[in-house]
Structure 1
Amino acid sequence: MTIVQGPSRVSVRSAYLEQVRRIAPPELLDRDAELDELAAFCLDEHRGPYVWWRAPAWTGKSALMSTFVLRPPARLTGRARVVSFFITARLAAQDTREAFTTVLLEQLCELTGEELPIAAGEATREACLLDLLSRAAAACQAGGSRLILVVDGLDEDRGMTTGPEAHSIAALLPGHLPSGMRVIVAGRPNPPIPDDVPDWHPLRDANIVRLLGQSAHARDVERLGKSEIRRLHGGTQLEQDLLGLITAARGGLSATDLREITGADLAEIEDILHSVAGRTFTRRAGEWKPDEVYLLGHEEIHNAACRYMGPARLVDYQTRLHAWADSYREWPPETPEYLLRGYPRLLELKGGLARLTALVSEPARHDLMLALTGGDTAAITEVTTVQNLLLAAEEPDLGALAVLSARRNDLQDRNRRTPRTLPAVWARIGLPVRAGHLARGISYPDFRAEALACVGQALAETGRPEAATEFVEEAVIAVESAIPETVLSVATTIARAGMSSYAVRIIRDISDPAVRAAGLAAVAAEVPDRDQASTLCREAVESARCGEDPQSLALALITVAGTVSVLGDRRQAEALIGEGISTARKLDEYARCRALGSAAMTLVAMGDRDGGRRLTTEVEHIAGRLTDPDQRCAGFQSVISAAVEVGDVAWAERVVRDEAVEQLRDHLQGCRCRSAADAADFATAEHAASTISDHEGLFAALRYAAAAAIRAGEATCAERLTEAAEQAVRALRHWRELADVAVLVADAGDYSRARDLAIEVERLLRDTDTVVERAHERALIAEALAEVGDLDRARRLFAEVDAVVRRVTTGEFAAGHAEHLIACGLSVMGAEWALDLLAAAEVPVRGMTDPYMATMAYAILSRTCARAGGFDRARELLDASLDQARRVSPGRVSRAMTRVVPAALALGAAEEAVELARGVTHPGDRCSCLVAAARSAVRAGDAAACRELIAEAEVSLRTITSHAERAGPLANLVEALVLLGELDRAEEMAATILRPDWAAHGFSVVARARAEQGETERAERLARRITAPDSLAEALVGIAESVDDRKAARLVGEALALGEWTTALPVLLARWPDVVSVLAAAVLRDRGGGLF
């Protein structure tokens, strides 16, 4: 795909851009006037909507168009965004309507930041394409630019273009272009316009034709090239073989590859190739390996070669390619690049779907691609491509789709583990390509956007502004569908990279006025231009005042006041913070406490220590009146933070003594560490951090202090603090945070050590918990084998997994893994086995020292024990969980109870569970607990109790003002309403959820219920509103359970292409058990052996 803007090739990197490079000449001669005319067509308001550059073969059309796409004229910078497709037979699978749809969908999804749609039918994908074209054009117009579509080689469409069954690329080009979009097409005068293009279409308007004049350079190349083709075709056997293999392979073979296939001497091969290179053959550098590769120099040369050899000889050469490919099935490091990149496209074009499916299902091949590129983007793309090919069949091969789903899930899983800061390490040490592969491979869009922004910042700070801009533009696209918190993070990072215009653009797209105000203030603080920063601050204030929430207004005014003060406008800053304080004093006590605490710290930063002290005293009085433990703890955290800023540590220490809460003591030491680091007192910072008992808090403090020491140029202190931070991470075994240590090391200039740490992080994240993760999959496979009647193998596999789970020594993990295994194996292995496994899991749980984690671990054990029939022991475990909960710090006890309440419900202690739920103080967690009790009530047949609990949950929900915090509880309420049978109300509630992930879950639950009631069409319409792939897959599987086999197969096939293979497992077991056997064999084989 290709998306470019301006002459600096600022683009969304992709495989298709490399294909355009293979078409483009190294230098375009004598075409400056034509390039200028193309630019004028894009910009002139009175031109358009179409222009058709028409000329015979060998005129230089493709050279002109590819140069325009890769190196647009300078005046298009920031004013045009170009997407393109080059119809050509020289490159595999690039001359059909399907290829056109796929390539443009990929480009437009990158431009709009949306997920690539995986639709069951071609018509659906084409509808998606037209819809995306419209939205992309509107987005470009809103951003002050214009969408340009370039289609070259319209005459080379290999689809059916005549008669009533015509099915051409030209017919897909919209007749009415949206939002100022323009289309540039190029091709020969013949064949005529395809029959499926309507009479009114602009392509049939002769006035859009622009004749391209002959190029003497192109004519000379044509004459020499065709002459050489004839000579090679009639030459020695080796000359014929070289021509035949490169033609059959559709380009991309190196001289070494040709030596292996032909058995000829390398020097002789290179002599032949180099003697005609530039006319018959074009050389290109390999993308992943240094070897040069060869392809035919022009479409007409390729066509001539195909005519001279004939179909039979081409098939013979392709057979030799297959045999050669088979010799590399172990995928050693020396595997040729062609087998990783070009060969799959050849199989796609020639209909070798079975061979292609097997090829892209090979884990060893994808591991090699990861080693070469540093990411899994290419692997995931090729798997998705094959899934789409399988879905396009009349009857989808569910076995192949299931195997590919497992392969794609593996690739996505290892990318989900990629820390957002890790790609930036590679960028800082001078390896931006590896950084790009790693960042673009992150499957979750929010994390990908943050990673891309971090890479952009790293490149900007290391003196590579052009490369930085590329990544920042990608981050801007990726963040369009993100939650507001991610948008704020990305915008701040981009602003720090010196590209505030991009940051402001994405902040202004935030719909919530308060969040938008906070973002504008944060960006203003990073903008070097004071006038621009002041303008942003004024806009932030106006935005804050547009909101209806006084708490958000107060916090926004206080935040902006701090920024305005830094800019030097003290009078304005005092006015703003005064207004913020006045607004805060009208809030309820807890909200007032937090807002005034923030104001106290801002006053100190503005130089008003006395004002900050007075306000902190007021905050302390308010906090002392709070009775809710969570709120009281948070209120005194504000007091401690402000007291430290005022410089009165003794005051903060008194608060800690009076409250006697460990969480507050750690908070105080963290504040002392950060305050000392800001003052460059790194010895005090280190000492304060060393007294923090919570390992996560310890690491956060040390990381802050180390970064401050690096900025201050204190190399020795920085090294010591960084080493201490690394030790804290290794003690936690939180390997994602080790990436943050690598960032610190790179910032300090130790690139060798940073590289070693980055490699270690990648290895640890691949290896950590891999055995247990595979054990989870094996447990599911064992359960499936039992379902299809293979009990002996199921029991042996459960025994394998049991041995793995018993080796887990971390309490919370031991409990969770035992719960999963027992859920899968209870019916096969029996209650006695389950209770014995739980007893083994309890051993590491008893050794846990963190009350919060221990509370949740005991709750998991209790719930699982009850399900296994061990009710007396389950009661004891629940009591142990409640005992641990009494020692949990106030700020975390509410979240812990979300595990305890379901445990009580599983035990049958419904009244106790409801009492516990009502005692939860955090409104979101209380809502979740009440809904859990409501679901239990309706399952027990007590609809009245369910309704009462739902009503309580809704009251709790109304106290939550944050859309992000409301989303999860709302989705839980939707589930409860579905169980009650109130589907209309559930659907209405799902539509109010503003976080896409939770909204998708709500719609999925309702769609399944609609299908169960026979409303399958309505259910599918509802499901299609879901944009999250995993949730859409869940909805489709739910609908599939209620329709006939033919329809179900299409829905399940699409679900397998979208989500986890485990989602489809129940319906596969019920309807296609043979597919389960195929899937089980593949999963166990790919995970290092098993029972097959």
Structure 2
Amino acid sequence: MADDERLPRRIDANRTGAAEATSGGYANSGVHIGSIYSYPTARSRYREQVRQIAPPELVGRDSELAELAAFCAGTRTYAWWRATKWAGKSALMAWFVLHPPPGVRVVSFFVTGRLAGQDHRGAFVDVVLEQLAELLGEPLPTFLPEVTREHHLVGMFAEAAQLCLRDGEQLVLVVDGLDEDRGTAQSHSIAALLPVKPPDGMKVIVAGRPNPPVPQDVDRDHPLRDPGIVRPLTNSPEARVIRDDMELELDRLLTGSQAEQDLLGLLTAAAGGLSGADLAELTESTPGVIRRQLRTVAARSFDTRPGQWHGPDVYLLGHEELQATAVDEFGEARLAAYRDRLHDWADGYRQRKWPQDSPEYLLRGYFRLLTARGDLARMVDCATDPARQDRLLDLSGGDLDAIAELAACQEAVLAQEEPDLAVMARLAIHRDRLIDRNGNIPEELPALWAMLGQRSRAEALLRMITDLEQRGPAAVSLARALAEEGDADAADAVAASIISVEHRAEARVAMIKPLVQRGDRRAATGIPHRMPSAGWQVEAMVELAEALVDSDDQQAVDLIDAAEEIASSIREPYLLAGALIRVAGGVVTAGDRARAEALLQRIVGLNRGIYGRVRMVGAAVATGQFDNAVEWARQISSVDEEAEMLASIAHAVAKAGDLDRARELAAEAESVVENADKYRSGPTALTIAAMVAVRDLDKAKTWMAGITEEAHKDTTLVSAVTAAAEAGEFDYAATVIESIGEAKAQAEALVVLAKAQLAVGKADRARELVVRAEKTSRAEVSTEHWVWEALAVVQTVEGFGDLRRAHAMLRRIADTALPVAAKWTAIEPLRTLQECLGRLGVTDRAVELIAAHPDPWKHVDAALSSRAPRVVVRARAEQIAKGIEAIENPAERSGAWADTAIKLRTVNPELAIGIALGISGETFGMETLVALMTPDNAKSILPVVTNSYWYAEALVRLAGFPLLMVDRAAVDRIPQVEWRFRVFAAYAKALLDLGENHLARDYLDQAEACANRIDSPFGQVRALLHLAELTNTPRHPALTQNLLRRAEMAATFVPHPGRRAEMLGSVVKALAAHGEFTRAEALATTIDDQGRRAEALVTLVKHLVEHELLDHAETLAAVIEQPGRRSEALLCLVKRHPDPRRAVALAGHILNPDYHADACTWLITRAGRFDLVDRLRARLVEVRNRNTRTRAIRDVTAALAEKQGLDRAEAFALSIADPADQATAWRALVDHRPGHAVARILLLRHWRHALDVVSPDVLDVIATEVFANSPGIAPTRAP
């Protein structure tokens, strides 16, 4: 939803502008593993690794470099530089990568065994994906399974090549060491992933030795099998000298002292990455001794690399061949002993819970070693160690490294012949826990880290924000911060990475003022032209005008004039008003208050009702028209909104410097809020914020102390902290923060204070607060969230029939929930928990939960569920009664009683009716009584219903009780003819359904008489069509035709064009339903409204298809103008056409992606047209309706498995890029390959999605993991 579509709850002078609504948002329920929405642009550091490979100076290779440059400029797409070992291949390739010819963009990968995990296809995909994402200015796709990552890679090659072509450049992929690919026999090679035909604008350079030959999984027609691409490389004399020195030194080390052999053996076994301190600890020596030993070895024998994070430099062997030679010389037995020493070392730190001085190698390189060795057990132990996950978080600033390790374990499990689902489930639970714990990260936190100079940490943190509504604003804040720091390119890259159109536009607008302030006016002036709609263009132009007003007053005025002209072109009144409000704000900044006043008066006519008035108050505040703001606020009929507006005005006036007037307004807001809804936090929160803004701190503190409802208290305290921080009352803000109970709210408040401290130059204090905010946001496991997950496990256990264990689990859940139930805001976990407790007989805990909640009436549906035992219902009802009577607002009190009565109707109907009779307020009371009517109580309730409308509704409800006939005199007491018609029609239908046609005729006559007396043509058409539908039987053909003719005539007299089109469309549908196709088609052509005409024609097409008039239906479908409606009609034809070839041809004309998917699914599953599978897959990403997409994937996968074989079905599943969609395909294969299918589901979705397909043994593992991490309790096994 666009910002301007949200109803305002507070006034903020920076948020009153309009943005015209556009498409492009994304909605999702729960965690979407694999989504790249609003992630920051990827930044690859692989060049630093290449820099370590390259020589300080490349000697004697000028001709080769010239040949490489000529290849880049030529027409060939592949070159293979081939030479024996020690020829200098890697040095040449690294130099070329770091110094490419002009107009060449290089992406590279160096296959090496010296560093663990850098010699297989998975590493190639990860490294190259990151480089391509940076080149494209896109976020790095995260949390994706291996096959999905490879699909992304292929697509990104094409996108990057296209981008380079557009910029007049050439994309070149360099892969060095192709012969050193150490992929297993079961896995695919790096070579097989290189494109057979590179996209236009892309070339590939590979380097390696003549042997081994091209891997078998490379296509027969792949360029790597073409001898013509091979370019022999002569050995470099300099490389030979280096080789001789290195081999001599290696021989000396291999035959040297035990200490020297240990150094070499450990570095060889570890595959690099050990620091001097690491080697000292492993050899029980001292860092000084290690340094002296390493100094005796020539520099070329060992390379040094900087640590990944903040650790010391690390050592590794200086050449690939040295590593291979050392491995051969030591032999597997000695290397295994060295690896055991590494394992013992890691076990020691694991036992110490990974303290702060944990070696960097054990947190990064060690896991790569385990992966390279295929040591799954140790991999899982590392990846699922919570203490190690926390240490990785501290070092890297995010959880991406820990999640990547878990994903590597999952890939290893998937590679097993029969995946270990228990291990897979453990891994999924840990992965999802890491994702979930980032859900409380404050939106401003990544931006603050960037402002403090920690850009990498900021980007890592942004990647981990999983809530879609939160991630967009966080990216906006980061873009603004980067622009303020002067990095326009980085800011624009972040903005470009945001998928949401609204947030992307907002991010670019946020960059304008910082860009102007930094002197980059050119970049700022280009932003308005990149806006997606008129509303956003106005926003950007006014923002630019405000930024330029001090330096270029005339350009600012010109921009405002242009913005007003664009705003005036917006037709929708609400959006027009928003755009003009923003223009008015710019006019005030430019100093023209008279023009601003004129704009406000123009806006007044566009805003109606309470929220229109609220918006006007906001506009007045934004333009500094405080007198108007106060006047309009006092005219608001809602006490709640008046209180909020007055408090907001007071806050704004205080910020403007007029404290005396602000205090008067705050006092007025205080008096108004006394009569506001106490169950809404807005009025109280804003009033307290106003008190803080006017420095009335003691009173604000007293008011805060008086808030009893936990859900509102924290929100109010955060508002108070914000106001205190803005006022410079930092100590007061810090005191208030300590009173905030919820971790998420406290983290938000800490960020607010940190930002204010940073603004006044207190960077050290800001950093302290930011560190605390991040730790706080991750510190608390939400009990509500855990209960929800644990209940899912319990319900599955119950489904398996283990009621004893389910009973014990529920008690544990209740014990965990009870201490914090008073703070719960979500209804669903509470309702489910109480229902489960009652169903399994744990009624004592259910009653305790009821008593623990301070506002039980808000959870009345959870309390009085028909599935709860009576003892639970009674206890809850008593609590509800107390809570309802405490509600001060009469309307809310009546509404609460009404909800209670409705919920009681099945468990205690007498009490329900008693409550309904006692409800004050005619609407709530009458509506509730009617809803409670049954055959048994109807005669006693009906006399009590005095309101005419609800009396008619009661009689209509009575029609549903066949044995109770209405008294004709009772109907006559209803004054409105339309309501009497509804009653007679309802009884006529009831009698017709019973086959009492004779009795029904009398009611039909009465209904027709009422219809004749309806004055409104619109109402009369609806009544006549309703009667025509009732009489559409062989007994009443003449009556039905007469009714249809009269309805058709009446429809033409409906005065309002929109209503007339609606009624004509309804008549067309009725005629079609009665087989009057010619009349229906003729009438449809008279409908002026394109949408209503299309809707009517679709209905007509469907009826023609039902009557097998396919040619006529196809002709009509072709003339439907709206693509979506035409697609709907064509889909109907596809499903009913007897000729499969014609059906396929018709499907090809369906433009709407959802209908096209439906058509393809039908043809594949019903007509066996499996040649359409590729067409369906290609357009799946365009299908918007999740249910349509799910149905298509599920049905097609099942059909492929049944008719085409399991291999084809699995290939289809693996080809689907979206993780949730791919999981749907695997779910359809659970019966065919349960192990692999369930493993894939656990890989792709949250573990809860696999509960219904796991075995009892796997469920036991899941239960143990979930209950071992319950808040405040840490047992080793689930009950």
**TM-score, length of structure 2 as denominator length:** 0.63
Q: 1:1066 maps to which residue?
A: 1252
Query: Deviation per CA, 1:836-890, whole angstroms, max 9, x where unpaired?
Result: 14522432557xxxxxxxxxx446645757766777867996998899797899x
Change over 3 Å in CA distance of 1:320–1:97 after alignment to 2 = same
Aligned mates of 1:655, 1:906 — CA distance in 2: 48
Q: Does 1:616 align with 2:640?
A: no
- Counterpart amino acid of 1:795? H
2:299 counterpart SS class: coil
Shift of 1:1050: 2.5
Alignment of 1:686-705 (within 5 A): 694=683, 697=686
Q: Which of residues 313, 330, 334 in structure 2 aligns to 1:313?
A: 334
Q: 1:486 maps to which residue?
A: 503
Change over 3 Å in CA distance of 1:296–1:883 after alignment to 2 = same
Contact 1:862 1:874 survives alignment (8 Å): yes
Q: 1:568 maps to which residue?
A: 554
Q: 2:354 maps to which residue?
A: 332
Query: Deviation per CA, 1:272-303, whole angstroms, max 9, x where unpaired?
Result: 32211522222233223533322111001011
Change over 3 Å in CA distance of 1:444–1:364 after alignment to 2 = same
Aligned mates of 2:233, 2:691 — CA distance in 1: 65
- Counterpart amino acid of 2:494? A
Q: Does 1:61 align with 2:61?
A: no
2:1233 counterpart SS class: helix
RCO greater where, 1 or 2, for CA within 8 Å and sep 6 or more? Answer: 2
Shift of 1:397: 1.7
Q: Which of residues 368, 384, 402 in structure 1 aligns to 2:407?
A: 384
Larger Rg: 2
Change over 3 Å in CA distance of 1:149–1:236 after alignment to 2 = same
Aligned mates of 1:160, 1:1050 — CA distance in 2: 19
Q: Which of residues 1246, 1254, 1262 in structure 2 aligns to 1:1079?
A: 1262
Contact 2:178 2:207 survives alignment (8 Å): yes
Change over 3 Å in CA distance of 1:72–1:363 after alignment to 2 = farther
- Counterpart amino acid of 1:738? L
Query: How large is the Cα RMSD of the aligned pairs?
Result: 5.5
Which 10-residue stretch deviates more, 150-159 or 291-300? 150-159
Q: Does 1:836 align with 2:847?
A: yes
Contact 2:666 2:687 survives alignment (8 Å): yes
Contact 1:233 1:240 survives alignment (8 Å): yes
Q: Does 1:635 align with 2:636?
A: no
Q: Which of residues 805, 815, 818 in structure 2 aligns to 1:803?
A: 815
Q: Which of residues 645, 648, 664 in structure 2 aligns to 1:667?
A: 645
Shift of 1:167: 5.4
Aligned mates of 2:222, 2:230 — CA distance in 1: 14
Q: Does 1:1035 align with 2:1224?
A: yes
Aligned mates of 2:1260, 2:569 — CA distance in 1: 65
1:52 counterpart SS class: strand
Change over 3 Å in CA distance of 1:615–1:234 after alignment to 2 = closer
Percent of pairs identical after alignment? 32
Aligned mates of 2:905, 2:108 — CA distance in 1: 58
Q: 1:259 maps to which residue?
A: 280
Change over 3 Å in CA distance of 1:65–1:257 after alignment to 2 = same
Aligned mates of 1:382, 1:120 — CA distance in 2: 12
- Counterpart amino acid of 1:1090? P
- Counterpart amino acid of 2:171? L
Shift of 1:94: 2.5
Aligned mates of 1:274, 1:698 — CA distance in 2: 70
Contact 1:92 1:250 survives alignment (8 Å): yes
Q: 2:780 maps to which residue?
A: 768
Aligned mates of 2:1194, 2:213 — CA distance in 1: 52
Shift of 1:672: 5.4
Query: Deviation per CA, 1:920-956, whole angstroms, max 9, x where unpaired?
Result: xxxxxxxxxxxxxxxxx9xxxx9xx9x9xxx99x99x
Residue segments in structure 2 that go unaligned for 5+ positions in a row: 1-39, 671-681, 696-722, 913-922, 929-959, 961-989, 991-1025, 1030-1061, 1067-1090, 1093-1123, 1129-1134, 1137-1149, 1160-1178, 1203-1207
**TM-score, length of structure 1 as denominator length:** 0.73
Aligned mates of 2:174, 2:1182 — CA distance in 1: 35
Contact 1:452 1:472 survives alignment (8 Å): no
Contact 1:904 1:913 survives alignment (8 Å): no
Aligned mates of 1:391, 1:1012 — CA distance in 2: 20
Q: 1:1052 maps to which residue?
A: 1238
Change over 3 Å in CA distance of 1:596–1:35 after alignment to 2 = farther
Q: 1:736 maps to which residue?
A: 748
Q: Which of residues 171, 193, 198 in structure 2 aligns to 1:177?
A: 198
Aligned mates of 1:705, 1:213 — CA distance in 2: 81
Aligned mates of 1:57, 1:1019 — CA distance in 2: 44
- Counterpart amino acid of 1:383? L
Aligned mates of 1:882, 1:595 — CA distance in 2: 45
Q: Does 1:351 align with 2:335?
A: no
Shift of 1:404: 0.6
Q: 1:85 maps to which residue?
A: 109
Q: Does 1:135 align with 2:143?
A: no
Change over 3 Å in CA distance of 1:823–1:845 after alignment to 2 = closer
Aligned mates of 2:795, 2:187 — CA distance in 1: 49
Q: 1:6 maps to which residue?
A: none
Aligned mates of 2:884, 2:1198 — CA distance in 1: 40
Shift of 1:636: 0.4
Change over 3 Å in CA distance of 1:381–1:279 after alignment to 2 = same
2:86 counterpart SS class: coil
Change over 3 Å in CA distance of 1:633–1:1061 after alignment to 2 = same
Q: Does 1:303 align with 2:324?
A: yes
Q: Which of residues 44, 52, 76 in structure 1 aligns to 2:80?
A: 52
Q: Does 1:720 align with 2:728?
A: yes
Contact 2:835 2:867 survives alignment (8 Å): no
Aligned mates of 1:1013, 1:158 — CA distance in 2: 36
Change over 3 Å in CA distance of 1:455–1:651 after alignment to 2 = closer
Shift of 1:737: 4.1
Residue segments in structure 1 that go unaligned for 5+ positions in a row: 1-9, 499-524, 546-550, 627-631, 707-714, 847-856, 917-936, 960-969, 975-980
Query: Deviation per CA, 1:657-680, whole angstroms, max 9, x where unpaired?
Result: 232432244234435544664x56
Which 10-residue stretch deviates more, 218-227 or 253-262? 253-262
Change over 3 Å in CA distance of 1:676–1:432 after alignment to 2 = same
Aligned mates of 1:31, 1:744 — CA distance in 2: 59
Q: 2:494 maps to which residue?
A: 475
Which 10-residue stretch deviates more, 833-842 or 733-742? 833-842
Shift of 1:338: 1.7
1:147 counterpart SS class: strand
Aligned mates of 1:824, 1:1033 — CA distance in 2: 32
Change over 3 Å in CA distance of 1:638–1:354 after alignment to 2 = same
- Counterpart amino acid of 1:65? M
Contact 2:143 2:404 survives alignment (8 Å): no
Change over 3 Å in CA distance of 1:604–1:904 after alignment to 2 = farther
Aligned mates of 1:902, 1:299 — CA distance in 2: 77
Aligned mates of 1:1020, 1:878 — CA distance in 2: 57
Q: 1:813 maps to which residue?
A: 825
Q: 1:97 maps to which residue?
A: 121
Shift of 1:794: 3.6
Contact 2:119 2:181 survives alignment (8 Å): yes
Q: 1:1089 maps to which residue?
A: 1274
Contact 2:783 2:817 survives alignment (8 Å): no
- Counterpart amino acid of 1:406? I
Q: Which of residues 431, 443, 448 in structure 2 aligns to 1:408?
A: 431
Aligned mates of 1:750, 1:31 — CA distance in 2: 55
Aligned mates of 1:534, 1:573 — CA distance in 2: 10
Contact 1:246 1:294 survives alignment (8 Å): yes
Shift of 1:337: 1.9
Query: Deviation per CA, 1:786-827, whole angstroms, max 9, x where unpaired?
Result: 444554444333223213322226554375542343355443
